Structure 1
Amino acid sequence: MTSQQIPHRADRRRNRERLLAAAAEIVARDGASASLEEIARRAGLGSATLHRHFSSREALLAEVFHEGVERLAVRGRELNETVGGDGLAVWLEELTRYTATTRGLAVSLRPTEADSSCHGVLADVAADLAATAVGAGRLRPEVTVDDLLALANGIAIRAEGDPELATRLLRMAINGVAPRT
């Protein structure tokens, strides 16, 4: 390896970090439709550099939300081990509240063909939680993981910025709206 290759790699890493920092700030303000050109400008780079690092808007958003999505995945696995069949409802509430308060994340939770997408990571955890909930009689077997994630995501979009509303709507969906007899 030549000494010229080392700075290039360091520059590339710094550029990526600058792009992610700028994207996190702008996406938090503007949501998932944030201007990619503005992100590049804020990072002090050209849009071509942004596109070399991130092949699509979805790829950039997945990186911006990576840490939060990983925390949700870890939490889901913990709940599955400690709470069992009731873990799914607890996790869906945490997911919905987080998504409602994290601008732009809802778009990243739409299904994509990339297994590494935000949706893919959370779908794996949701599948384990759902299987446990079905086994415990807490979830109907015909309910799919995509149904659950779409429900949580739709509520989060409607309740953006209002985690209390997100919680109330999700609980109504889980418990049903018919009077209890």
Structure 2
Amino acid sequence: MGGRAGLAAPLPALRGHQEGPARRPQQGLPVLLSCRTSLYAAGEPLVVRAQEAGELRPDATIGDVIRMVSGVAGVAFEDDEQRDRVVAMTIDGLRPR
């Protein structure tokens, strides 16, 4: 993995993303299912490579990573420093122990 900056770079762009009860009824829409399928297909090999390289904890799955990123992206932060700190803590949690 390219380090913390490589993983965290796209997160500020996701600030407006909302995931919650109001959005869940749309989960079955074909376009969302297609996006989910594409995201998992693209992300799974990255997870496997990161695990093989010893950069990602062995029990992490692509589903775990997607949910974690979605959770962090959907939070309103007090400022950029808080966002950066939370992203850093989140990424540190993905590292193998």
- Class of the TM-score when normalised by the shorter of the 2 chains: 0.5 to 0.7
Which position in structure 2 is the counterpart of 1:148?
65
TM-score, normalised to structure 2, is: 0.63
1:122 and 2:50 equivalent?
A: no
Which position in structure 1 is the counterpart of 2:13?
98
CA contact (8 A) 1:98 1:163 kept: no
User: CA deviation digits over 1:57-86, x for unaligned, max 9?
Assistant: xxxxxxxxxxxxxxxxxxxxxxxxxxxxx1
Residues 1-181 of structure 1 aligned to structure 2 (within 5 Å): 86-87=1-2, 89-100=4-15, 103=16, 105-107=17-19, 112=27, 114=30, 115-117=33-35, 119-159=36-76, 164-176=81-93
2:10 aligned counterpart, secondary structure: helix
Aligned-pair identity (%): 27
User: CA deviation digits over 1:15-50, x for unaligned, max 9?
Assistant: xxxxxxxxxxxxxxxxxxxxxxxxxxxxxxxxxxxx
One-letter identity of the residue aligned with 1:95: P
Which protein is richer in helix relative to its size?
1
Q: 1-side partners of 2:5 and 2:67: how far apart?
A: 16
Structure 2: gaps spanning 5 or more residues: none
- Using CA pairs under 8 Å that are at least 6 residues apart, name the structure with larger relative contact order, 1 or 2: 2
Q: 2-side partners of 1:164 and 1:125: how far apart?
A: 30
CA contact (8 A) 1:95 1:152 kept: no
2:34 aligned counterpart, secondary structure: coil
Q: 1-side partners of 2:14 and 2:53: how far apart?
A: 27
The 1:91/1:164 distance shift into structure 2, 3 A limit, reads same
Which position in structure 2 is the counterpart of 1:14?
none
Q: 1-side partners of 2:37 and 2:83: how far apart?
A: 22
* Structure 1 position 89, deviation (Å): 4.8
Structure 1: gaps spanning 5 or more residues: 1-85, 177-181
Q: Cα RMSD (Å) of the superposition?
A: 3.0
Q: 2-side partners of 1:164 and 1:120: how far apart?
A: 33
